[in-house]
Amino acid sequence: MNVSISNLLKTAALAITATTVLFAASANPAAAQSRIKDIVNVEGVRDNLLVGYGLVVGLNGTGDSLTSAPFTQQSLIGMLERLGVNTRDEINSLKTDNVAAVMVTATLPPFSRQGSRIDVTVSALGDSDSLQGGTLLVTPMLGADGEIYSVSQGQLVVEGFSAAGDGQSVVKGVPTTARIPNGAIIEREINFNLDQLQTVHLNLRNPDFTTSRRIADSINKFLGAPAAAATNPATVRIAVPAKYTANAVALLTDIEQLTVIPDQQARVVVAEHSGVIVMGEEVRISTVAIAQGNLTIRITETPQVSQPNAFAEQGETVVVDRTNIEIDTGEDKRLTVLDRGVTLQELVNGLNALGIGPRDMISILQTIKAAGALQAEIEVI
């Protein structure tokens, strides 16, 4: 039996979901406008990653086992030697379990000045059970070039915990990872003179030919001169105008508030493990017929007890099997015809009207794509 898409839409209108409301809102061009600062990055204005290796002390018996973590033992011996304590002759007698080797990571923000502070993350490297109550000793933080950019030290803040007894243990969160707010002091700056740039490059966070050209057109309209050009889907090049010479910060401040409508490729993103489906506004469906139905067999066992009447001289109590079998061949499923040019919202409404859940909808979308009727890219994550 064929059902027209108009009938499906009437049915779906009675049970419209919050997801459909969001899709409808995204179809409004006014709601889709975005500031340039929210969709681009300025080339050269970037974070830098730092990493270091250090020791955490003061643990309450939850540190590394020196016999199974030789790097912790060697680091402890080296640290004590730098402090004037020689323990190499007594290496076999080191039995402390209050020390843990850790990796320390941080992100150096752009234009950070010497003496300012940043947060650091501390992660256990050996077999430590917990970093609760520990203190990180002075740890140099290195950049990708091997230079020291900051030094970290301080009391660890651990969100997780662990507790164990003879018969049971409880672990909440990750007790072997901690943070130190403002735990690192910046010792070296990364020089980048933004004001001296004669050309500024904007990098799109979601590369697209149409979006990059719209950004360039919006900037040129604001400046009243052809100063911006889209060189590729990910880059817009801006020649700094004469009135902004030696003041690229003012140029970026003025243009980052301009709004454009980002374009996007028709794409369907499927999270198969959770059944979540996200579909772009531009997804279109060619003429296609959809039928969905499965053979389902349900077998229910309900054993019953049979026993003799009261005061009976003979008989015994037995369990009698009772089996109920139900077979659903999917005969009540309908065949739906979707006409050419059906929009995303119409497709979702039509499938919802058939009572199709997210899991089955994933299979239907993949099948439509295999048939060549889905004008979009499917990405499974």
The per-residue pLDDT for range 122-138, each reduced to its tens digit, is 999 988 988 999 999 99
Q: What is the C-alpha separation between 364 and 350, in angstroms, rounded?
A: 12
Helix H or strand E encompassing 119: strand 117-124
What size, in residues, is the chain? 381
pTM score: 0.66
What region, left, alpha or beta, does residue 111 occupy, with left being phi > 0 and alpha being psi -120 to 50 degrees? left
User: In the predicted model, what is the mean pLDDT of residues 36-56?
Assistant: 93
- Which token pair is 150? 């900051």
Q: In this structure, are residues 152 and 52 in contact, taking their beta carbons and an 8 Å threshold? A: yes
The per-residue pLDDT for range 192-208, each reduced to its tens digit, is 888 888 999 999 998 99
The per-residue pLDDT for range 85-125, each reduced to its tens digit, is 887 766 666 778 899 999 999 999 999 999 999 999 999 99
Q: In this structure, are residues 278 and 376 in contact, taking their beta carbons and an 8 Å threshold? A: no
Q: Is the dihedral of CA 185, 190, 191, 196 positive or negative?
A: negative
- Which token pair is 217? 């057109």
Q: Binning pLDDT at 50, 70 and 90, where does residue 72 land? A: confident
